[in-house]
Chains A and B, each alone.
Chain A
Amino acid sequence: MVAQESTDKKGGWNQVVTAQEQVFFPSGSVLFKEGEKAAGAYLIVTGEVTTSMEAPTKGTLSLGTVQPPAYIALVDSLAGDRYSCTTRAVRDTKGFFIPREVLVDCMADHEKNLTLLQALANEVSASYHELRTVRDKFGGRSVTRKRIS
């Protein structure tokens, strides 16, 4: 899952990724696979990645494309969980890998915690967006409320 970051928060996320490992993924390579242990999150700075979920019986469900700057897998990493989706670079992509331990430390840091919380909130928002899209694509036909926004 993905948290799209607005550019005005650049200063904020720079605080979190200071001194973290820079990573490069050539087009077509996989950043992480669904079900692998979430060792950390990624901040995508340039390039483009896609996310997808898989089910043995129904194949792959494409969730969308991520434009930088964006955090990926913050929720999975902070929860100490497994990655909930597969992420693949569709163009040459550069970013930072932020290990789970660093994320947890940042949560206890008064100067960085709000930045991370806001990135988490963005990831939740992105999940809601994906859910709404999937509902229109796969769900039944009942229409009961007019969307306001």
Chain B
Amino acid sequence: MKSPYGFDIQENCVTCPFRESREFCNVAPGVLQQLQGIKFTSVYPAGTLLYIEGQAPRGVFILCNGRAKVSTSSKQGKVIILKVAQQGEVLGLEATLGNRAYEETAELLDSCQVNFIPSKQLLRYLTENSEATLKAAAQLTNDCRSAQEGIRCIGLSGTVEEKLARLLLAWVTNAHEHHKDEKRFKVPYKHEEIAQMIGSTRETVTRILGALKKKKVIEIKGATLIVKDSDLLKKLAGE
């Protein structure tokens, strides 16, 4: 079935053509049949908040396609972007399993199909299927790693320039987009959001990006970031 947002809605997990590439859904057919029986499919436009920090947990959300920004805020109200969740990731797992309020806010960056599983059904599904338990454990491990990377980035990096250089390097390394000797990455984030990823301010990020352009370390064409001098960028990142 076609959605109004230009993608096909996958109503049935068992026949979903993408399930093998989605970590949480890549389980044995019998287990998948059980998952199909407990999930509710919805389609949301970009900008939708799936849940907000402090809300009582209702269950988990499987991101079938698109991306979601997962953020939390400190006691002083500073926003920290924990990660940009990709298709196949499960959101709200930590709060649902721990039966405590959601600790993050999940906002869709694209129009997405989302499968929701209520808490009670999820707990039964996980208890009965060890394969699903391992998938959930893998998701929690990734969530913990994201937080640890954030702690290292904010607490153990020297300067904001170093943090930003590390972030840019991580992006271009993961993007695998190369043109001749240049590394490219399409940046879907505003300066404000980049600042929230590295624990800085929008003004500082704008200033440092300008300085990196001036030094010809990077070039920005529209939303595309091009690394012109990766050796210098690595040096700035302390590598």
Contact = CB atoms under 8 A, between A and B. Distances in A.
A135 interface: yes
Nearest to A149: B54
A118 interface: yes
Interface string B64-82: 0000000011111111101
Interface of B: 52-54, 72-80, 82, 93-95, 97-98, 100-101, 103-104, 123, 126-128, 130, 133-134, 136-137, 140-141, 143-145, 147-148, 150-152, 154-158, 160, 192, 195-196, 199-202, 204, 238
Contacts of A54: 156
A63 interface: yes
A82 to B, nearest CB: 12
Contacts of B101: 149
Interface of A: 1, 53-55, 57-58, 61, 63, 75, 78-79, 84, 107-110, 113-114, 116-118, 120-125, 127-128, 130-149
In the complex, the 8 A-B pairs of residues with the closest C-beta atoms, listed nearest first: A148-B54, A139-B199, A127-B147, A55-B156, A121-B97, A149-B54, A140-B201, A121-B98
B151 A134 contact: yes
7 contacts: A57-B238, A113-B130, A121-B140, A127-B144, A131-B154, A136-B75, A148-B52
A125 B215 CA distance: 41
Nearest to B199: A139
B201 A107 contact: no
Which of B74, B80, B95, B157 has most A Cβ within 10 Å?
B74
Contacts, number: 176
B98 A118 contact: yes
A128 B200 contact: no
Nearest to A137: B155
Q: Is the interface of B mostly helix, strand, loop or mixed?
A: helix
Which of A1, A78, A131 gathers most chain B CB within 10 Å?
A131
A122 B45 CA distance: 31
Contact of B76 (A53, A78, A130, A143): A143
B144 A110 contact: no
A108 B130 contact: yes
A75 B98 contact: no
B155 A61 contact: yes
B74 A120 contact: no
Contacts of B53: 147-149
A117 B122 CA distance: 12
A61 B157 CA distance: 11
A58 B154 CA distance: 11
A143 B202 CA distance: 11
Contacts of B100: 125
Given A1-B148, A63-B151, A145-B77, A117 B130 contact: no
Contact of B151 (A113, A120, A125, A130): A130
Contacts of A123: 140, 144
Contact of A110 (B80, B128, B137, B200): B128
Contacts of B157: 55, 58
B77 A147 contact: yes
A127 B146 CA distance: 9
A102 B160 CA distance: 42
Contact of B201 (A1, A75, A110, A141): A141
Contact of A127 (B123, B151, B156): B151
A107 B104 contact: no
Given A107-B134, A148-B54, A128 B160 contact: no
Contacts of B127: 110, 113-114
